[in-house]
Amino acid sequence: MSDSAYVHGYSIEESQRLSDQANTLSHLLHHDSVFHPAGLVLEAGCGTGAQTVIVAPQNPQCSFVSIDIAEDSLAKAGENIKGNKIKNVRFQSADVFDLPFNNESFDHVFVCFLLEPLRKPVEALVSLKRVLKKGGTITVIEGDHGSAYYHPRSPAAQATIQCLIDVQASMGGDSLIGRRLYPLLVTAGFEGVSASPRIVYADAGRPEMVDGFTRKTFIAMVEGVRQPAISRGLITEEEWNRGIADLYRSADSDGTFCYTFFKAVGKKS
């Protein structure tokens, strides 16, 4: 987004990670991402379309305008929906802080993993509110890296997670934003705000979550900040390696892992 670098790159591995995440989590996050009444939906920060390919098909009564500031991501998103034969989405390059739309253009706004890297999340929400019709809804989904815990516990593993939090904070983001969605939406002036946690839990009895979430989503995301964390002196290479090995222990047959996303819905009155 315009006001900070985005911690994730747009490598092939990253695209794969975002797709893996969306597939594993789609029910948990999106089973209730259904927009009534039918109308025009603005998806802000669509990235490579990982959420678009889930949410657009389950809302055939709606037309989507999915925006992102990154042109290369939009190109991938376009291929993504073509591959999925989705017809109700139009992509557009746009900055969430300077939206090229008239006031009250949209019936619904949908935002997933947009706010976390932003320095000014309330201003982003206020900007989105401008283009939302009166009576329209906003849906916001964000993670919270402070919600991650696991067995066996490990200070070394926790240090690597803290590196992820610190690297994202150094770029102006707040990766613990999930728990703040309710006050953020209220502060931005939305009404009837309802927030709910969506907890991901993985143990050996749920092998698809262990692989799809613990390993390929969460640990992969932590591993994504290896280089900046070590080069900035947040952690030594040895400590890093030990911490990552300990994180993988939580994906063993006697390990468990928890992480919570938050979803909030509000109305413009």
Binding residues for its own copies, rule: CB under 8 A, are: 144, 146-147, 149-151, 153, 176, 179-180, 182-183, 186-187, 193-197, 199, 201, 203-205, 254-256, 258, 260
Nearer to its own copies, 89 or 200 (CB): 200
Nearer to its own copies, 9 or 183 (CB): 183
Give min distance, CB of 254 to its own copies, in A: 4
Nearer to its own copies, 201 or 248 (CB): 201
Give min distance, CB of 97 to its own copies, in A: 23
Give min distance, CB of 153 to its own copies, in A: 7
* SS3 track for the chain: CCCCCCCCCCCHHHHHHHHHHHHHHHHHHHCCCCCCCCCEEEEECCCCCCCHHHHCCCCCCCEEEEEECCHHHHHHHHHHHHHCCCCCEEEEECECCECCCCCCCEEEEEEECCCCCCCCHHHHHHHHHHHEEEEEEEEEEECCHHHCEEECCCHHHHHHHHHHHHHHHHCCCCCCCHHHHHHHHHHCCCEEEEEEEEEEEEECCCHHHHHHHHHHHHHHHHHCCHHHHHHCCCCCHHHHHHHHHHHHHCCCCCCEEEEEEEEEEEECC
Give min distance, CB of 15 to its own copies, in A: 30
Nearer to its own copies, 100 or 205 (CB): 205
Give min distance, CB of 206 to its own copies, in A: 9
Nearer to its own copies, 196 or 269 (CB): 196
